[in-house]
Structure 1
């Protein structure tokens, strides 16, 4: 399984491959024509990176993970996309006709093995484990049947949320979803080559080793093919765009009493065939 990451090192920010032993193979010096993984994706260059990584020894063991695609043009999140999540709202509705969407800014996410930051203004920091897709081939009004042809790679997200702030207004959740470093994406990108990577995926989220979320993408009310088709109806998708596809039931806000994240907690989002995204929790300095 080839894993491509963006990392910070004593030599600066680099992209490359992560080996089975955890070492990092810098590939950005090999491809100076591509400044970032976003450029690699736009050029269809992930297969070139895979070939270049074969047989290379790690160049770095001292590095810090960043979000895999730096400065994506768009990060769009699908909300309330599992039947049990919809039932949590207790409003008597079954599956809605249209999916719920909201944007997130890149700086609201941090990388793997880095802390989620709880702000001093509000302590209702919650977790949401999700699969994220990265667009490789852009387009507008993409047919659902063709949607998978537009995916370059898949990764994981913890779509961390300040719950009280999503209730500040009547028609949006944006302010509760965009606190700096409140969520995470990573650790790496896995090239998308087979529909089974998504259709058979199972999401498990753990807090301090305790399973809080456990479900499969096949149960989503709006499958990923439909997400791409619907989103591309109103906006042009471009290479490097990220769609965060929906979280199962089991977030901390739904416990009685709520079980929000506190400093020292460890949150893990795991999907077979992708890996595990792990983050600690710290208060903002």
Structure 2
């Protein structure tokens, strides 16, 4: 099932894609796609709905963040072998964990607004994992049972703030609009193997990132289990699981985002994103 939220920022309503790709309004049945609606029982109830009986939504409607009330936004750094190589760093022995401010969350096609004076804003396509049930000290074998579904994430990073302002990842990754996710939450039953998904990011039409989640150093089940050893993962939590090679800072010469750039992101089975870049001074 593909679940989404549509409408103006702050006024989104729940929806689902039907078999033909039409957007069907769920708001008569579901108040909103909040964390409690991500439990296995409620997802099964949603899957039983005859979407053809629900009203269609205009296909041009804005798509928002697929889950309301997200409480934790977690990232994994340096989790693709080729990205580690282009960064000139050794493969990590354990996942490198950081958080992003939940205020960075934005819709999949919303504009990216660079912070004032930014000359080092960078792109990072990532597989997003959305937690469906509380995970605390879970094993790798049980970890994926706690996943409600998957989505595309763009873990945008302002490299100067990240690397030269006392080196904290959180600083460079938490600007408003630096966390587009969506367009949909694709439920886990439709993604039998999260380690077999093609990813692609284009900048102004040219491919800069092209990879597969099989290149992850730490797979999704390991990440969920690992995080749950030292923090409680809550329904609705979003984990972006690392980016493959081809980010701007890894190019020769480095290439960073500028006003007017267009990013297009795609992950097999999870849809697409398109974002226009705006320099804040010109917005």
Q: Given the two structures, how large is their TM-score scaled by the length of structure 1?
A: 0.91
What's 1:213 paired with?
Answer: 209
The runs of 5 or more residues in structure 2 that have no matched partner are: none
2:46 corresponds in structure 1 to: 49
What is residue 139 of structure 2 aligned with on the other side?
143
Q: Secondary structure at the match of 1:204?
A: strand
| Distance verdict in 2 for CA 1:11–1:174, change over 3 Å | closer
In structure 1, distance between residues paired with 2:50 and 2:77: 37
1:9 to partner: Cα distance:
5.0
Q: What is the aligned residue count?
A: 280
Aligned CA distance change for structure 1 residues 263 and 24 (closer, same or farther; 3 Å): same
**1:158 corresponds to which residue?**
154
The offset of 1:223, in angstroms, is 0.8
CA contact 2:77–2:95 (8 Å) conserved in 1 = yes
- Asked if structure 1 preserves the Cα contact closer than 8 Å seen for 2:131 and 2:149, the reply is yes
**In the alignment, what sits opposite 1:7?**
6
- Does residue 266 of the first structure (1) align with residue 262 of the second (2)? yes
Mean CA deviation greater in 200-209 or 40-49: 40-49
RMSD value over aligned CA atoms?
2.1
Q: Secondary structure at the match of 2:48?
A: helix
Alpha carbons 1:25, 1:53 under 8 Å: kept: no
User: Could you tell me which residue of structure 2 aligns to residue 37 of structure 1?
Assistant: 34
SS in 2 for 1:55: helix
Q: Which residue of 2 aligns with 1:75?
A: 73
2:197 counterpart (185, 198, 201):
201
Counterpart CA distance in 2 for 1:171 and 1:118 is 19
Pairwise mapping of residues 212-251 of structure 1 onto structure 2 (< 5 A)? 212-251=208-247
Distance in 1 (alpha carbons) for counterparts of 2:176 and 2:50: 33
Following the alignment from structure 2 to structure 1, what is the Cα–Cα distance between the partners of residues 145 and 190?
10
Q: Distance in 1 between matches of 2:186 and 2:178?
A: 23
The answer on 1:280 being equivalent to 2:276 is yes
Q: 1:279 to 1:53 in 2, by over 3 A?
A: farther
How far apart are the structure 2 equivalents of 1:175 and 1:279? 22
CA apart distance, 1:24: 2.6
